[in-house]
A and B are shown apart, each in its own frame.
Chain A
Amino acid sequence: QKEVEQDPGPLSVPEGAIVSLNCTYSNSAFQYFMWYRQYSRKGPELLMYTYSSGNKEDGRFTAQVDKSSKYISLFIRDSQPSDSATYLCAIYNNNDMRFGAGTRLTVKP
């Protein structure tokens, strides 16, 4: 079993839709939770970074962590074609980082 499980998609939504991306992890030792966005032919860039359970909001993006069920989510409101990318979840603790396989998202105009 992988440390981080993520549905690879692909996921296609119309512009303006709410997007929900999800991951589960197995090791409760990991305390930090991240979402990265990766455009085609680019490296991943950090989108959201959170430590605690609960919600963290940044503009149209909301990261949600439920440590009790080891479940992390990313919500994108009012999705735009420019949000089309691969989204990777990741977990981190003490110089140990593990990534999900990534979900490819396409937002159609």
Chain B
Amino acid sequence: KAGVTQTPRYLIKTRGQQVTLSCSPISGHRSVSWYQQTPGQGLQFLFEYFSETQRNKGNFPGRFSGRQFSNSRSEMNVSTLELGDSALYLCASSPMSLAPNEQFFGPGTRLTVL
């Protein structure tokens, strides 16, 4: 079974631009979660989508948004990029919930904002 895939793997943007990241979950998984990972803050939960609906949301500004398609693929968008948005963005998929033993992470997208 193929794992979680994320594209692109690396991205360089400048301040003020916007960016869209993509995540394809494991086949059959309906829940997709997004996380931001930085050296200082560690791994922080952004939001979770289940059956095309945002089910959970972390404490991030509205510049961070996402969506999920009918095939469970998900996209995350960050508008008006700031230097502090430089991070590794991870997505994780699971069949139904955020239960740790059901959640599998992708390799991440490394975003650098200049």
9 shortest interchain CB distances as A-B pairs: A43-B105, A101-B42, A99-B43, A95-B98, A34-B100, A44-B105, A49-B101, A99-B42, A43-B107
Using Cβ atoms and an 8 Å threshold, which residues of chain B touch A34?
100
A46, B42: Cβ atoms closer than 8 Å: no
Q: How far is the CA of A101 from the CA of B36 in the complex (A)?
A: 11
Using Cβ atoms and an 8 Å threshold, which residues of chain A touch B48?
95
Interface residues on B, range: 20 to 34
CB distance from B1 to the nearest CB of A (A): 15
A6, B42: Cβ atoms closer than 8 Å: yes
Closest Cβ neighbor of A4 among chain B residues? B42
A43 touching B106 in the complex, CB below 8 Å, given contacts A99-B43, A100-B42: yes
Cβ-based interface call for A88 (8 A): yes
Convert A57-93 into 0s and 1s, putting 1 for each residue whose CB lies closer than 8 angstroms to a CB of B.
0000000000000000000000000000000101010
- Of listed A34, A90, A99, residue having the most chain B CB within 10 A: A99
Interface residues on A, range: 20 to 34
Interface residues of A, Cβ cutoff 8 Å to B: 4, 6, 8, 32, 34, 41-46, 49, 88, 90, 92, 95-102
A-B contact list, 22 entries, CB within 8 Å: A6-B42, A41-B107, A42-B108, A43-B4, A43-B92, A45-B104, A45-B105, A46-B101, A49-B100, A88-B42, A90-B43, A90-B100, A92-B100, A95-B48, A95-B55, A96-B98, A97-B45, A99-B42, A99-B43, A101-B41, A101-B42, A102-B43
Q: How far is the CA of A32 from the CA of B102 in the complex (A)?
A: 13
Q: How far is the CA of A32 from the CA of B100 in the complex (A)?
A: 9
Using Cβ atoms and an 8 Å threshold, which residues of chain A touch B32?
none
Q: How far is the CA of A96 from the CA of B104 in the complex (A)?
A: 16
